[in-house]
Structure 1
Amino acid sequence: MTSKTPLWLALALGITLGGMTHAADTISPAAKDPNLWLENIDGTKQLDWVKQQNATTVKKYADSAEFKQLDARLLEVLDSHDRIPMVSKMGDHFYNFWRDKEHPKGLWRRTTLDEYRKDSPAWETVIDLDALSATEKENWVWHGAECLKPEYRRCTVFLSRGGADASVMREFDLKDKQFVKGGFELPEAKLSVDWMDIDHLYVATDFGPGSMTKSSYPRIVKEWKRGTPLSSATTVYEAKEDDMSVSAVRDQTPGFQRDLVTRQIAFYDSETFLRGKDGKLTKIDVPDDANVDAHREWLLVEPRSDWTVGGKTYKSGSLLAAKFDDYMAGKRDITVLFEPSDTTALDGYSWTRHHLILNVMDNVVNKLEVLTPGDGAWKREPLGGAPALSTIAAGGVDDDTSDDYFLTVSGFLQPTTLYYGTLEQGDAQAIKHSPSFFDASKYTVSQHFAASKDGTRVPYFEIASKNLKADGKNPTLQYGYGGFEVSLQPAYSGSVGRAWLEQGGVYVIANIRGGGEYGPRWHKAALKADRLRAYEDFAAVSQDLFQRNITSPQHLGAMGGSNGGLLMGNMLTLYPQLYGAVVSQVALLDMQRYTHLSAGASWIAEYGDPDKPAEWAWIQKFSPYFNAKAGQKYPPVLFTTSTRDDRVGPVHARKMAAKLQSLGYDASFYENIEGGHGAAADNKQAAFMSALGYTYLWDHVK
């Protein structure tokens, strides 16, 4: 078993949670903040302000025939029936969640492997979310399902109102294809649920006052028995109020059933416990900042800092293996499965029944290795490498029963191809091809390295016309993220092709520090007091584009979302001379108040705690809302967000736009009333939000 990521944590890392917790309503406001009133997210006066702002932005940027044509062309990409329907195997079926023009909210559906191999598989609908939403008069957004193996008949289904991170949970019968009357059901909250057996669940949710952390996630996990009220559930573990969250799972792997409880102390620190049949918890003795994973007889450990144990030191970013039972008994016989170099980092791994597939990045380009467990060193064989400046990934189909695997290959100009194979049985066979949405033959991809302020080499990808003239006049979009150890890798985007490349633009992705392109060290280099390194890196890429005469400040636009939206806020306030326009999406911006807004407290490990004067002294240097001031030459900026975003929340964007407008700057704002942190609840909304961002930049930098 690969340890499952709790739903809240999976959602918390999205780039691509009502029951909302807004501590902002109960704390002392920052001194003399005239925009504090906008923190009342659902207030009538506040939403009237939002609607007025939306109308102004739509009239200026989204009301032309050209915009409507682009919007329609982007929706065509998202709704295409020729997209690859990615699947996961449960029992004898392969399941997929699918949205298109006819099913905007989506279908949860299934098919067999033989059917899936066909160009047009026959699908069986399991849940029609559009029909369910219409019947219940709710705007349901799919948040996934967890089904109890090995029967895979009973499932917990998670549904969100309008795309918020908070979900309701209901029990569903896969055979009868209907919700179980009188079955397990939980009201809307940020929650984590896992099957113990047919009659018991592990549940971490909002149990009432005091049961949530300051980060607005569950603080208590309980064991809940079928047919009993939730109030009678037995407490398994209570985390501290200052912790991030808690969760529990049962590994259902036949012959290796284990119960694991995880206390998420902070975003990168946790403790994992093995829960005995008597309820006793035994900590897995690894550093708090290490990731652990139990699979069959193996324990895998990823230390995020150098770790000395058993007389040996293992490098940060390594992948280590030990026999689980032996390790718990005190033995420290550890095998190194991967050790990073100056240019390599572990991108991920996946088990099959008898093997482990490693995905390694070398200067942000992937290669795959197959490892076979054994005593001492594991057997190693290459599985394949990505084509030049592309991305390759592979994952086991069913690690309980087979060595089958899916493999995908994708690039900026190469639509995704899906392969299916069996390890040690020849090459994988292509079974699905994503359509091409623009003529890629006109463009070329290149990788470059810029020198940051401190001399660090920062990689970036450039996608441009083969006939590009280095005259400094090319409209260029520079995209970045730079946080939470998230890597930006080559990937095909029909939207980028249609909205930017076809217009004659150059598209650039900056692999700045704070990301995971070179593992934990690359991420840690821009943590907390070192946050400015990420912004220096992004600026260095911009300046390298100028030096190479690709573009110039008046023709360079910058875009980023979430943590990347914070990046955009800082490029606006710290480096305004470099950009002709900026788009900041679902962003953090008020870093003095962020820990009191929505789920902000969960990111103290990334940014620091502004309530501590010593830390606020350096946080304020990258707080765009704090640093925005009159008399500067800020470029035009667009802030986009969502009312239903209960992760970052819409407050940051509202206040930043209002402040800049009050200072006389060209600041536009658009808030989708639905959509959650992704800012869109369906493909139509997603296409509109994308078209708005691209149109805004093009209008200003063309």
Structure 2
Amino acid sequence: MIAALGRCRLIVVLLLLGLPAGAPSAAFAAGPSAPQYPATPRVDVVETQFGEAIADPYRWLENDVRTDKAVAGWVEQQNAATDAYLAKLPQREWFTRRIRELMDYERFGLPQKAGGRYFYTRNSGLQNQSQLFVRKGLAGKPRLLIDPNTWASDGATALDDWAPSRDGKLVAYAVQDAGSDWRTIRVRDTKSGKDLADELQWVKFSAIAWIGSEGFLYSRFPAPRDGAQFQEASRGQAVYFHRIGTPQSADERVYATPDRPELNHRARVTWDGRWAVITTSQGTDSKFELHAIALAGQLRGRLSASMQRDWAAVELVGGLDDNWRLIEGVGDSLWFVTNAGAAKGKVVRADLDRFIPPGRKNGHTPSLGCGPVDGEPCGTEDDPPWTFHDVVPERVDTLTRGQIVGDRLLLSFLKDASTRAEMLSLDGKPVQAIRLSAIGTASGFSGRPGDAETFYTFASFNQPPAVFRFDSRTGKSLPFAVPRVSFDPADYEVEQRTFTSRDGTRVPMFLVRKRGIAQAGRAVPTLLYGYGGFDVSQVPSFSAVRMAWLEAGGAFALANLRGGGELGKVWHEAGRLANKQNVFDDFIAAGEYLIARGVTPKNSLVIQGGSNGGLLVGAVVNQRPDLFAAAVPQVGVMDMLRFDRFTAGRYWVDDYGYPSKEADWRVLRAYSPYHNLKAGVAYPPVLVTTADTDDRVVPAHSFKYAAALQAANPGGKPHLIRIETRAGHGSGKPTDKVIEEGADILGFLSAWSGLEVDPRP
């Protein structure tokens, strides 16, 4: 009743002003006034860093909410104040209902083929977690194999990564609880549907790479100290081989760098089972080392005794200088996508036959005769025992991915941040382009040499992911699973525009609106989203939450900021380390463009970003508080002087720099959201969101920032924090929580932007 009365009052105000519902003005009825914030004690913590005294009065909020009663009490009080505020928002009820309706459609994951079986995930619509199904043959009857919805009463335990063995008789799968980055790997028998006794702990940032049906490679960390698993820095990852039917304590260490514990390692096995490739990284920067392990003895039956003893890894690429991603292997040749000497990417082939001992050809399992086991170098720098050949040279568009399907290379490019796919021969000769229906994102195309069949998804802002089956022999795509939705995608217009940033750089941006709004040129409340970091490309995708905002009559803009990977290596470099301010300048310029071009009224521009995007939102709110009507920083990195001390934070120095180095520290100090809040500034309404089990960006970042924001402007507009329980950085979040969080965010943003539900097309 309160929400309904609130909506009626807002419509009356708009009508009295002679404005249609959905059109904001400078006099629109804003959201409820700020509540009285819970008291947040300050502590006397001041540290001198590079000659400057840095106060950290909320250091105590870094303690773990699960073990510190004071922090837990603060969280409870903040949530109570926020929940009471959000309950008053007039549009929240409508957004809750509509997001739920928009999410209620059948959706499928990409099928994986193994041993004549097809494995894929499916969600009937509103299930908290997607289930894993299997069918014999493409037209076989689906059978439920794994149902994570039975694992936890609150739906917060999720099925994460999964991989069938090559014969399809077993599936190794990873369990994620409460949104944490930690995973537990289990193994299920496909025929019986029952789990084996195998259980692997302390797995994080890992792939699952089967070697025949005997076992698989995976990556794990040493067990953390008791009570420190959600805060302790992640170090010492190693690749292990787990043999089915044995305890984890018997797993063989395959590859590790104990003298360099900061390195991470992931393993892949080529489909023919001849090679394992270890990809090594130091942080989030897309620069890798590569090592190859010859899996001799062949893997169709039992593993050989020598394989149990000898995992000799030979360096293919060292130095952590460039991006290298394995496409696939055929025989003794490996194909890679790399930006070594090609900023927008190219395809190369490594021929490794020169260091394969003759005995390997006869099916024996000798040592490689070189490398770390034998102590002899494998060739010299001038004459290595393998050769790299360019297969597909660098192009104007950014090469993002490659696959081998049948006897074809399938390559995906980004052209203006939208996908373009192409099929070539294995020696790089063009065969045909793969036609996509509209501006959007195609992903998948996973397959294997010798099998012409693959699957891919296509999605856009106005189109949920549809799954297609692609035949690389004919070049034809056929629908496998196309969702039925409760709206007409044709009612929405997706545009690509460019705007000019502060230094003159032209920056691309997507703009999505109802077609009628776009054609009439009406200015409406606009939600601007950005990320700008870690070489991550922001591409068209579907979100039921975002669609609810569009249905209500708002516009959505996605800016392809520097720091991302949309335009290749140079674009990423232009937004990292000492260039980070470019990201904030780009985002501010995007907002100014939307106002200047009449997309949105000045007082109706709202912003949102998550993780590194949460940092972005916090920074630009500090730098241009006048520009934005409201802001939502989600799971953001807010303390840039201490980010590297917790969990995965140490990886981010590649993009942010080292707080321990003065030059980097001064850059970080200049934009750190927590450290640049100033008393008395009229900050816009801010809803901070985080989660108690976020062990990627620990919630202390958001806790400290929200406390400082409330203290800086206690009598101003609302500055709230929403703290989810049994949730993490975002992955694995149950549908119910997605709906609740989405309605809270959109209810908050609509109240402060003047967006009122507009039924017109």
Q: Same fold (TM over 0.5)?
A: yes
Which protein has the larger Cα radius of gyration, Structure 1 or Structure 2? 2
Q: What's the secondary structure of 1:361's corresponding residue?
A: strand
Matched, 1:360 2:407: no
Summarize the alignment of residues 39-78 of structure 1 with structure 2, pairs less than 5 Å apart: 39-41=62-64, 42=66, 43-62=68-87, 66-78=91-103
How far 1:680 moved relative to its partner? 6.2
Matched, 1:455 2:455: no
Summarize the alignment of residues 217-236 of structure 1 with structure 2, pairs less than 5 Å apart: 217-224=235-242, 230-231=248-249, 233-236=251-254
Provide the residue aligned with 1:206 in structure 2. 221
1:436 aligned to 485, 500, 503, which one? 485
How far 1:548 moved relative to its partner? 0.8
Provide the residue aligned with 2:280 in structure 1. 263
Equivalent-residue separation in structure 2 for 1:148 and 1:220 (angstroms): 22
CA RMSD across the alignment: 3.0
Task: Give a deviation string over 1:294-337, Cα, whole Å, max 9, x none.
Answer: 4224333444453xxxxxxx455333234343698545451241
Equivalent-residue separation in structure 2 for 1:482 and 1:571 (angstroms): 13
**Which moves more between the two structures, 244-253 or 157-166?**
244-253
Provide the residue aligned with 1:119 in structure 2. none
Provide the residue aligned with 1:12 in structure 2. none
How far 1:454 moved relative to its partner? 1.3
2:652 aligned to 603, 619, 627, which one? 603
8 Å Cα contact 1:438-1:497 kept in structure 2 = no
The percentage of counterpart residues that share the same residue type is 27
Provide the residue aligned with 1:160 in structure 2. 176
Provide the residue aligned with 1:320 in structure 2. 348
Equivalent-residue separation in structure 2 for 1:332 and 1:355 (angstroms): 21
How far 1:291 moved relative to its partner? 0.8
Task: Give a deviation string over 1:82-126, Cα, whole Å, max 9, x none.
Answer: 33454322322222233456742442222245447xxxxx53111
Matched, 1:484 2:507: no
Equivalent-residue separation in structure 2 for 1:426 and 1:200 (angstroms): 35
Equivalent-residue separation in structure 1 for 2:127 and 2:553 (angstroms): 33
Matched, 1:291 2:314: no
Instruction: Using structure 2 for the length normalisation, give the TM-score.
Output: 0.79
Q: What's the secondary structure of 1:645's corresponding residue?
A: coil
How far 1:215 moved relative to its partner? 4.5
> Alignment length, in residue pairs?
650
How far 1:158 moved relative to its partner? 1.3
8 Å Cα contact 2:233-2:646 kept in structure 1 = no
1:145 aligned to 162, 165, 171, which one? 162
Relative to 1, partners in 2 of residues 1:610 and 1:633: Cα closer, same or farther, differing over 3 Å? same
Q: What's the secondary structure of 2:493's corresponding residue?
A: strand
Unmatched 5+ residue regions in structure 2? 1-44, 49-53, 295-306, 356-377, 379-383, 755-761
Summarize the alignment of residues 247-646 of structure 1 with structure 2, pairs less than 5 Å apart: 247=265, 249=267, 251=269, 253-254=271-272, 256-267=273-284, 268-276=286-294, 278-285=310-317, 288=320, 289-293=322-326, 294-297=328-331, 298-306=333-341, 314-315=342-343, 317-325=345-353, 329-330=384-385, 332=387, 334-341=389-396, 344-374=397-427, 378-393=428-443, 395-396=445-446, 398-425=447-474, 427-468=476-517, 473-498=523-548, 500-646=549-695
Letter in 2 for 1:299: L
Equivalent-residue separation in structure 2 for 1:393 and 1:222 (angstroms): 29
Equivalent-residue separation in structure 2 for 1:676 and 1:534 (angstroms): 26
Unmatched 5+ residue regions in structure 1? 1-26, 117-121, 307-313
Instruction: Using structure 1 for the length normalisation, give the TM-score.
Output: 0.85
8 Å Cα contact 2:203-2:221 kept in structure 1 = yes
Equivalent-residue separation in structure 2 for 1:227 and 1:426 (angstroms): 42
8 Å Cα contact 2:344-2:567 kept in structure 1 = no
Equivalent-residue separation in structure 1 for 2:156 and 2:438 (angstroms): 43
Task: Give a deviation string over 1:161-182, Cα, whole Å, max 9, x none.
Answer: 212110112232222211113x
Equivalent-residue separation in structure 2 for 1:241 and 1:646 (angstroms): 25
Matched, 1:185 2:212: no
Letter in 2 for 1:205: R
**Which moves more between the two structures, 398-407 or 556-565?**
398-407
Equivalent-residue separation in structure 2 for 1:393 and 1:155 (angstroms): 23
How far 1:290 moved relative to its partner? 2.7
Relative to 1, partners in 2 of residues 1:443 and 1:359: Cα closer, same or farther, differing over 3 Å? same
How far 1:354 moved relative to its partner? 0.9
Summarize the alignment of residues 610-689 of structure 1 with structure 2, pairs less than 5 Å apart: 610-663=659-712, 664=714, 665=716, 666-678=718-730, 681-689=733-741
Equivalent-residue separation in structure 1 for 2:279 and 2:694 (angstroms): 26
Equivalent-residue separation in structure 2 for 1:438 and 1:336 (angstroms): 44
How far 1:545 moved relative to its partner? 1.2
Relative to 1, partners in 2 of residues 1:388 and 1:250: Cα closer, same or farther, differing over 3 Å? closer
Equivalent-residue separation in structure 2 for 1:425 and 1:647 (angstroms): 44
8 Å Cα contact 2:114-2:165 kept in structure 1 = no
How far 1:189 moved relative to its partner? 4.4
How far 1:627 moved relative to its partner? 0.9
8 Å Cα contact 2:92-2:746 kept in structure 1 = no
Relative to 1, partners in 2 of residues 1:602 and 1:85: Cα closer, same or farther, differing over 3 Å? closer
Equivalent-residue separation in structure 1 for 2:385 and 2:624 (angstroms): 53
8 Å Cα contact 1:54-1:671 kept in structure 2 = yes
Equivalent-residue separation in structure 1 for 2:268 and 2:493 (angstroms): 48
Provide the residue aligned with 1:176 in structure 2. 192
Equivalent-residue separation in structure 2 for 1:316 and 1:65 (angstroms): 47
Q: What's the secondary structure of 2:508's corresponding residue?
A: strand
8 Å Cα contact 1:292-1:299 kept in structure 2 = no
Provide the residue aligned with 1:109 in structure 2. 133
Equivalent-residue separation in structure 1 for 2:390 and 2:241 (angstroms): 35
How far 1:439 moved relative to its partner? 3.8
Letter in 2 for 1:126: L
How far 1:673 moved relative to its partner? 0.7
**Which moves more between the two structures, 406-415 or 223-232?**
223-232
